[in-house]
Amino acid sequence: MGNLVAVYGSLRRGFMNHQLLGAYNANSLGTVTVRGWLMVDLGAFPMVVPSADPSDSIEVEVYSISHVGLDRLDVLEGVSNKFYERVTINTQFGETYMYQYHPASYSNMMESVTGNIRLVYLGVWQKPAITKTIPKDAFDYMIGEKYSLRVDAIMREEDDAYMWDYEDIEDPAWGEEDPVGLPVDLEEEIEERAKAPPPPLEKPYLEVDYYIQDEEDQDDAAVSNPAF
């Protein structure tokens, strides 16, 4: 059967990069709903990240594709540049690859966004995109815990690298074993978080503004690294 890959954005049927699947003789197996994911509108294409709420879902099309075709998708998604990363999910067809937003890209996005995040309504990518706006700080609490820890680790690494350049590193507080203060074991940090009582949660998107993206916005956006 080859490699199974789930696509959710520009590679879906009817969108700009779908022809790439045809070029590598990918076979369509069907459209399914995958739970535990959030989809965000980036303009001309979307991205997905794990959700803290298992009831959140996205709609994907599943294809069978060759190894060569899968390598070509890695190039399209900027895997080597940490734009997206290929992960494995379970679908009714078996283990399936899908491209999620790399934590490094997420970190950069959150640093550059000054307003709201545009969450794709019902996790279904269409044109024009139908989204609901989420405050940036609230969205951070909606992503999955392990993914959130990876984002935090990258942000700490960037902060510590900055301090290496501009601080006197003779301060013994830096330590010898871990001079840049990087997290050693994410699993231990997950366990520590689990011991703490959870803060009161309110769905940050109960009161939202719905936004329909103009087609001109998508046409004018850069599509050099379109996601699924």
Domain ranges within the chain, ordered by starting residue: 1-216
CATH fold for domain 1-216: Hypothetical upf0131 protein ytfp (3.10.490)
Residue bearing tokens 């779908």: 18
H helices of 118-225, where? 136-140, 145-166, 186-195, 215-220
Closest CA to 125 of 2, 21, 17: 17
pLDDT in tens, 18-49: 999 999 999 999 999 999 999 999 999 999 99
Closest CA to 180 of 157, 150, 148, 212: 157
pLDDT in tens, 120-172: 999 999 988 899 999 999 999 999 999 999 999 998 886 665 444 444 444 44
Residue 142: what residue type? M
- Whether this prediction's pTM lies above 0.95 is answered by no
CA distance linking residue 141 with residue 106, whole number of Å: 13
